[in-house]
Structures are given as C-alpha cells and as structure tokens.
Amino acid sequence: MRRSFSLLIVLLVAVPLLAAPRKPLQERIASVLSAPDLARGFWGIEVVSVSTGETLYSQNADKLFTPASNTKLFTTAAALALIGPDYKFRTTVETTGTLDRYGRLNGDLVLVGHGDPNLSGRELPYDLRTQRNDDPIQALETLADALVQKGVKYVDGDIVADDSYFAFERYGEGWSQDDLVWADGAPVSALTINDNVVFVNILPADRPGEKAFVSIKPFADYYRIDNRVITTPAGTGRKFFVNREPGSTVITLWGNMPLDDQGANEALAIEDPAEFAAVLFRQLLEKRGIAVYGHQRTRHTELATLSTFTATAIAPSHGGSDGLSRPFKSDQPLTLASYESKPLLEDLRVINKVSQNLHAEILLRLLGRERGNAGTIEGGLEVLREFLTQAGISSDQYVFYDGSGLSRQNLVTPHAIVQMLRYASAKPWAAAYRSTFPVSGVDGSLSDRLNAPRLQSRILGKTGSLGGVKTLSGYATTDAGQTVAFSILSNNFNLPAKRVTDAIDQVVQAIVEDTAGR
C-alpha cells in the first residue's frame, strides 16, 4: 500500500507537468520583442495557417514596411506564373550583311542580348551555394568559337553590342548612390556579362613599403586603376578603401595590406554593360584571328524614344545554317551563332537563395517585355500589379519601385506577403516556387541560421537586409505538423545586424514550437 500510495503521489505530480500547456504564441513572441532595444524599432508580423487560412498571430500586419529583398518573393512568383519555369534566354550574334566564301563579312556583327543573366562563370544548377568556375566569359568565348566554325575571317563593319531588348534604364528609383559601385547595385542590361562586374584582386607585395599587387578579371583594360595600397609589416592588420565616382572608369584604392595577408577580392560594378561586352567581344574575335576593320559601339533603346520604338525595332532573329552567301533583307538579320540559357527556374533559385539583385531586376524587365507593353521598370511593375490583383492583394497593401528590393521607397504589409505566399501554395508551380527559397540550416542566406537540429530544414524563408531593415518571410512547419506562411518585417533599427536577426530567429522558433494544433 505504501508503494501504491507513493506511485499515486508521483503520478499526481507528473501528470500536470506533462500536460502543462506551452505559453500562447502571442506571449512567446511578446517576450522576444519586449526587450528595450528591440522595442524602439517597428515590427510587423503575420502568421497564417496555409491550409485553413486562420490567422495564428498578427502585429501591425496591415502597416506598410520597407521589405528589402522580400520584394523578390513577388517578382519570382509572377515570373513562375506568367513566364514559366522552362523559359530559356537566347543570346545571338547576327548580321544584316553577307558572308562570302572567303570568310569576309560585309556588314556589322551584332551581339544581341535578350536578358540572359548567366552569361558568366556561374555553375548551374545551384547546389547549396553559388559556385563559379575560372572562366567568367565562357559564354562569349563559345559564341566567338562558333563564328570561327562558321568561317568568319574578316568583319568589314563594326562590332555592335545590342541591349535594346530592354530599355536603357540601368538603375532603379530609390537606389542609394553608395550601392552603384558594388555588385549589389550593378547596372541592369539585356546584355549582361559576368553579372556586370569585374573582380578586383589585391595581394600584398614582397616587401613592406611597396605597393600592393592589383589585378582585374575579366577585361583588365576596362577600368584604370589608381593604386595607393601600401604593403605593411606582417601582423599590422588590413585596412583599405575603394572608390569609383558614378560615370567614371577610374578606380582608386588606398590603405594598407600586411605582408602576411591572404589578399582580398572585390566585385565592382561596370558602367555600361553593352560597351563592356562590345570591347570584350572584339578582343575575343581578334584573339581568334578574325580581323575587325570597323569600330565597336552599342545599340540601346532610350526611354525617350520608346513610344516610337515599335516602328523602328529590329525584327526578331531568324536562325539557320544555309544560304550564308546570299543577301538578306535589312529587317531579317542572319543569326551566325547563338547561346541558350538553362531553364528560368535555375536562375530563380539563384535569385532567392543568394538574393541576387541584378537578376531580379532583369526578371522585372522580362515581365514587362514578355507579358506587358515594354521591357522597362514601369512595364514590369504594371504586369506585377495585375498579377497581385489576381492574387487577391489590394493596391493599398504595397508600393514597388523595383524588382529586387534595393529601393528604399518600396513598401509592403506583412499581410500582403502572407497572402501572396498562400496564393502561391495553391498553384501548380507551388513546388517550384518553394524550391527557390533558402532552407534553414542548409543553404543560401539561411545556411547558418535556424540550424539547430530541431529547426533545420523546417523553414523555407526569404531574407532581406538594408540599413536599419531586416526581414524574413516564408513557410514553416510547426511542432504540431501544421504548415504556416509567415512574414516578419523589422524597420528603423540602429542595432548590430546580428541582434536583429537573432530576434527574428527567436520569433520563428516560437512559431515552430506552436503546438496549439489549430
């Protein structure tokens, strides 16, 4: 009886402990955000069950916030719905001249871009992280080799780089001038080589007091380097600065690099992508023994002339391998070589997983060109607005000025993001869309976040970051087995970035631990 009585006491004590309910989600999130430093900023959060549509948590969900790269969620969803995952870009080399049996091309040689963002050394498909090979201009080299195989030996005309498929509209409204020097703010073009950047490599010299070694890849002649970086004794610490004024082709570097430093590699944006491509392509042709007697130049579509462009645009190219010696009509260029991209879905994974701004901007213009009135920012935004209306998102829930989120003028509510995520989850392209998201503790911008064993792979989320802005939105699977769509937007912070991202991750963990089973 004493044993039975003792067992009864143990059970009476243990059962309440086992059955003790976890604090409501509202309280758990409040405990995270109530810290004084976090409470000084602005938070907008919404959590909704994907299957039932029930709102599990809401805080300022109808207020407008700067979303940063959460903007990409809208751009990529519209592309999957309206353009499709299997779409392929085609870059061509064309002429309206004739190629005779001696290999002489009587006319201009035109390199025509149609928006392919991956004319670079990037390896696709994406596998856990962005990887590049050692040849950032392999696509251009492939096209140059194809011309040699066609028998081209002389070009009597010019080398023309044509990016007129999109308007000459390199930057978005609301972009910071500071961004334009770096890869994050690279100019947008329908003819994009190596993400429209050059890689500047800096290595210490052999002895202290000497200037550091500086090299550029690809196309070292595009920028002029003013190198003032001095090698210092080992252990002195690295400190150097890079500056390029907008519109300038001079890069100034200054500071110091210690003798034992492993070196630094910076990706710097180029000024005019088509011009860069024209000069580089000419060099590749001449390296292969093709003589070019003309100049290199560009062909743009200026926004001011866009209203008359439809009457003067180059007709679509018509490929073919026969009849190289016969004349062609001026509105029917002959395609001498072409390069086809991987399916669009492969690039959408790059866009969302590593938050590639340039590719998202190309995607916005592609929406305008393929499904709207013009390959412009406004053309793409008009298509995006129509798509969001179909998704049940009212126009007062957002204001977008670009496709990447680099613009500080973008505004969106957490509710609009969650509504779009729920809309996407019911579409035939839902699985493809989710495959573009970073996976917690696995890849992309979440590879080193939410990586505890019980959280790993349970969150598919798109990150966002600007000065004073941190965001995360996506899908999560709770401990109760429920799939939720969530959006966490934080604005107006003057805190270390890690402090805010840690708080966001704690909120996500609270969402995952929600065992209400609703």
Are 325 and 352 contained in the same domain? no
Using 50, 70 and 90 to split pLDDT, how confident is the model at 309? very low
Among 342, 364, 389, identify where a domain stops: 342
CB-based contact 151:124 (threshold 8 Å): no
Give yes or no: residues 158 and 93 share one domain.
Answer: yes
Rounded CA gap, 252 and 243, in Å? 5
Predicted local confidence at residue 220, as pLDDT: 73
What is the CB neighbour count within 10 angstroms for residue 454?
10
Q: Is 361 exposed, middle or buried (0-12, 13-18, 19+ CB in 10 A)?
A: buried
- Residue 389 and residue 507 share a domain: yes
Residue 5 has pLDDT above 80, yes or no: no
Distance between CA atoms of 159 and 192, rounded to whole angstroms?
16
Higher pLDDT, 311 or 353: 353
Shared-domain flag, residues 48 and 188: no
Closest CA to 355 of 189, 274, 259, 466: 466
Q: How confident is the model at residue 317 (pLDDT cuts 50, 70, 90)?
A: very low
pLDDT digits (tens, 9 = 90+) for 186-209: 999 999 999 999 999 999 999 999
> Does one domain contain both 216 and 293?
no
Asked whether residue 52 is domain-assigned, the answer is yes
Indicate the residue among 315, 342, 369 that finishes a domain: 342
> Domain count of the chain?
3
Residue 518 forms part of a structural domain: no
Is 402 in the same domain as 486? yes
- The band of 345, judged by pLDDT with boundaries at 50, 70 and 90, is very high
Question: DSSP letters along 337-355, please?
Answer: EEEEPPPHHHHHHHHHHHT
**pTM for the full predicted model:** 0.89
Contacts (Cβ under 8 Å, ≥6 apart) of 8: none
Q: Tell me how crowded residue 486 is: count the other CB atoms within 10 A of its CB.
A: 25
Domain closes at, from 270, 302, 326:
270
The pLDDT-based confidence of 313 (bands split at 50, 70, 90) is very low
Whether 143 is in a domain gets the answer yes
We report the CATH number of the domain holding residue 492 as 3.40.710.10
What is the C-alpha to C-alpha distance for residues 281 and 108, in angstroms, rounded to an integer? 13
Residues 93 and 30 in one domain: no
169-198 average pLDDT score:
94
The residue ranges of DSSP E strands in 250-333, in sequence order, are 250-258, 264-269, 291-292, 296-301, 318-319
Same domain, 99 and 119: yes
Are 412 and 488 in the same domain? yes
Residue 327 has pLDDT above 80, yes or no: no
Q: Per-residue pLDDT for 55 more than 70?
A: yes
Mean pLDDT of 352-357: 97
* Closest by Cα among 86, 133, 145, 108 to 342: 86
pLDDT at residue 310 is higher than 50: no
Q: Are residues 107 and 245 in the same domain?
A: no
Ranges 8-17, 129-138, 365-374, most confident:
365-374
Cα–Cα distances (Å) from 45 to 66, 317, 318, 390, 424, in that order, read 13, 49, 51, 23, 19
Residues in the chain: 518
Please give the pLDDT value at position 23: 78
Indicate if 311 and 368 belong to the same structural domain: no
Phi/psi for 200 (5° steps) reads -100, 120
Q: Which two tokens stand for residue 269?
A: 């944006």
User: Using one digit for the tens of pLDDT, what is the confidence trace for 229-243?
Assistant: 999 999 998 998 988
Domain contains 8: no
Omega before residue 218 within 30° of 0, cis: yes
Per-residue confidence at 21, pLDDT binned at 50, 70, 90? low
> Domain residues for 186?
175-270
Q: Could you count the other beta carbons within 10 Å of the beta carbon of residue 181?
A: 19
More confident residue, 225 or 323: 225
How much is the pLDDT for 177?
87
- Is 393 inside a domain boundary? yes
Compute CA distances 360 → 130, 175, 381, 390, whole Å: 16, 14, 12, 21
Structure-token pair, residue 118: 């991956």
- Residues 266/253, Cβ–Cβ less than 8 Å: no
Query: Are residues 232 and 296 located together in one domain of the fold?
Result: no
**Residue 202 belongs to some domain of the structure:** yes
Q: What pLDDT score was predicted for residue 322?
A: 34
Question: Do the beta carbons of residue 103 and residue 152 sit within 8 Å?
Answer: yes
- Domain-embedded: residue 7: no
Residue type, 510: A
What angle separates helix 414-425 from helix 71-82, to the nearest 10 degrees?
Answer: 30
Q: Is 388 exposed, middle or buried (0-12, 13-18, 19+ CB in 10 A)?
A: buried
Residue 330 has pLDDT above 80, yes or no: no
290 Cβ contact list (under 8 Å, min separation 6):
144, 147, 148, 152, 153, 154, 155
Report how far residue 202's alpha carbon sits from residue 186's, in angstroms, rounded to the nearest whole number.
21
- CATH code of the domain containing 106: 3.50.80.20
Mean pLDDT on 443-462: 96
Whole-angstrom CA distances from 73 to 33, 225, 417 are 25, 38, 8
Q: pLDDT for 495-513, tens place per residue?
A: 999 999 999 999 999 999 9
pLDDT of res. 4: 54
Q: What is the pLDDT of residue 129?
A: 83
Q: Given pLDDT bands bounded at 50, 70 and 90, which one contains residue 17?
A: very low
Confidence of residue 486 (pLDDT cuts 50, 70, 90): very high
Note whether residue 102 is domain-resident: yes
Q: What is the average pLDDT score of the chain?
A: 90
Q: Are 402 and 364 in contact (CB under 8 A)?
A: yes
- Tell me the average pLDDT across 418-426: 98
Q: What is the mean pLDDT of residues 274-303?
A: 96
C-alpha closest to that of 328 among 30, 99, 45: 99
Measure Cα distances from 495 to 30, 36, 467 in Å.
Answer: 19, 12, 10
